[in-house]
Amino acid sequence: MPLVFRPRQFDRLVATAALAALAAACASSGAVPKPFPDPGSVPPARGGRAPATAGSLDSYALVGTALALRGSPYREGGTGPAGFDCSGFTQYVFAQYGVQLPREVRDQFRLGHAVVPQQLAPGDLVFFTTTAPGASHVAIAIGGDEFIHAPTSAGVVRVERLSSSYWAPRYVGARRIWN
């Protein structure tokens, strides 16, 4: 029989899971949150509250949602749990909190304000140059030296390090769209 949580219990559970994952780097259970609103829709209010705006975003809950999607397959043009590309992943995760992101990486790179690497926080968008000059790949900072993203057609949504020998030289900037 499935467990049923009331909205406040669910919010606390998600926040606790996100903090535990960040502190202990536990392996994902493969669980994927439900329901899955389309990236263009605004999810129903949680716990009787209005959907988040970019200024009131709970970045730790957002990171928890992103971490729960680890293992989702990469799919070119994908925007949902059946398959994501990098910008489809960020767009989907932010949509769960009522924040609409543009579909293209270069358009996401124009949002919010620039963040220096020393001040990266969970929920910041992190950009890299991979297939073309300028920002051509996007991820979500999860804290410390780590980010989560949908990397390539040979991969799945996963956590990696900003300081890795592959990603560090490709880093082009970060943007914060929440306060």
| Active-site amino acid positions | 86, 137, 149
Query: What is the secondary structure of the chain as a DSSP string?
Result: ------HHHHHHHHHHHHHHHHHH-PPP-----S----TTSPPPPSTTPPPP-GGG--HHHHHHHHHHTTTPBB-TT-EETTEE-HHHHHHHHHHTTT----SSHHHHTTSSEEE-GGG--TT-EEEE-SSSSS--EEEEEEETTEEEE---TT-BSEEEETTSTTTGGGEEEEEE---
Residue in this structure with the two tokens 């900037």, named with its chain if needed? 173
> Strands 79-80 and 146-149: what pairing?
unpaired
Q: How far apart are CA 66 and CA 88, in angstroms?
A: 12
